[in-house]
Amino acid sequence: MKKMILLLIGIIPFVLGFLMNSWLMQNPNSILPFKLIGITFLVFWVFVGFITCKFEKTPYHSALFIHTPAVIALLLLTYQDMVLEQFWPNMIGLATQFYYLPLTNISSFIIGGGLYVQMWTASVVAFLLMYGSYYLGCYLKKILSSK
């Protein structure tokens, strides 16, 4: 049951990405605070790590289950971007792009690159940010529970 909860929590970035895209499509003249959304998401992911790191035997196993959707999205996105050199014009093609949308601005800023940053590179950095944030939450839980 806890593995299923971790997998479902791992889908939250999809939902946030779809909501961000819907907002931008309905309000094309508005600008979302992308960096603030990314920072807020990372803080939320630290909190998720803090709460869920004990769902499995080790924090590593919890991180493995919660980031399964992230790995699948990253593999599909990388395949589309590097091998096909185009994104699939269906829901899977959109979902792989939307998964990392909350962190795309921050990861592009970290990479540098100016106006052009490859999507798969930004997604790898976003994945590392998510994974690191989750482990930070696990680490904070370990520190606070040992006192």
Q: Return per-residue pLDDT of the chain as tens, 147 residues.
A: 888 999 899 999 999 989 998 888 888 787 878 889 999 999 999 999 999 988 888 888 889 899 999 999 999 888 887 787 777 677 777 788 889 989 988 998 898 866 677 888 889 999 999 999 999 999 999 888 887
DSSP symbol at 79: I
pLDDT of residue 54: 85
Q: Which residue carries 């909860």 as its tokens?
A: 5
pLDDT of residue 118: 81
Q: Following CA atoms 115, 28, 129, 118 in sequence, which dihedral angle do they give, to the nearest 10 degrees?
A: -30
Residues 6+ apart with CB under 8 A from 12: none
pLDDT of residue 82: 77
Residue 124: exposure state from Cβ atoms within 10 A (0-12, 13-18, ≥19): middle
Q: Which of 118, 73, 99, 119 is nearest to 21 (CA)?
A: 99
